[in-house]
Amino acid sequence: MSELTELLRRHPAFCAIVQNGKPYRKLDFTAGNSDLLTRDLSETDVFGEYVFGEMLSENTFNGIGGYGEDRVIYRHRKHFTADIAKPRSIHLGVDIWAEAGTQIHAPLEATVHSFAFNDHYGDYGPTIILSHEISGITFFTLYGHLSLSSLEGLQVGKTISANEPFASIGPYPENGDWPPHLHFQIIREIGNYKGDFPGVYNAADSDYYLDLCPDPQLILRINA
């Protein structure tokens, strides 16, 4: 267990990132969900209707899940299958599925590390990375699939207060062409990355990246 993981585990409380009042339902995007093996979800509107209409009971719930999940949904997107020898399918973050425009709140005090518009089909779309410090340890949180308006007026080094709404979930296609959701990821060491960081990796190297990116539920603490 890394020092950061233990630190986050001991931390008394974090602010809720999504505060729309809806209950949560855990979603499964692995081969264990037989629906995924019989449907073509390459069209985003079809994918969105499946998530929000069926899985989330006509948008009654927020959806959550995905950390360490070996996902079959990436088979439909070349962004994850370009390397035939090492297709990427292991999810390094947690997704919160909620409607476009849903506000995103900072879980704790932060500064803006970097941001970018990762404008490729299947990519993050608008992305913000925040830097945090607890007990002398610095770490990072990544927010992907945001609205383009979330990047307006943003600057590196800007201070974000705990619980401050600083972004919103984006609509497709500007969010990387996905049904609306937030990709939330903890990053222990970010290296030279700016405005981007791998959120899905190949199975052969996933242990290294899962250690580098601890379970986001250490911060989210959402029961579903």
At 43-91, the pLDDT tens digits run 889 999 999 999 999 999 999 998 988 877 665 555 454 455 556 578 8
Instruction: Choose between 29 and 143: higher pLDDT.
Output: 143
pLDDT tens digits for 17-39? 999 999 999 999 888 888 887 88
Sorted by where each begins, the domain ranges of the chain are 3-220
pLDDT, position 81: 46
pLDDT, position 74: 60
**To the nearest whole percent, how much of the chain has pLDDT over 70?**
92
Q: Is pLDDT above 70 for 94?
A: yes
Burial (0-12, 13-18, 19+ Cβ within 10 Å), 179: buried
pLDDT, position 71: 78
Cα–Cα distance, 110 to 219 (Å, whole number): 14
Phi, psi for residue 135 in degrees, rounded to 5 = 50, 40
Domain 3-220 of CATH type 2.70.70.10? yes
- Two tokens, residue 101: 């425009």
* Percentage helix, strand, coil for the chain under 3-state DSSP, each rounded to 5: 20, 30, 50
Give the alpha-carbon dihedral of 72, 76, 78, 84, to 10 degrees.
50
Taking all residues of the chain, what is their mean pLDDT, rounded to a whole number?
91
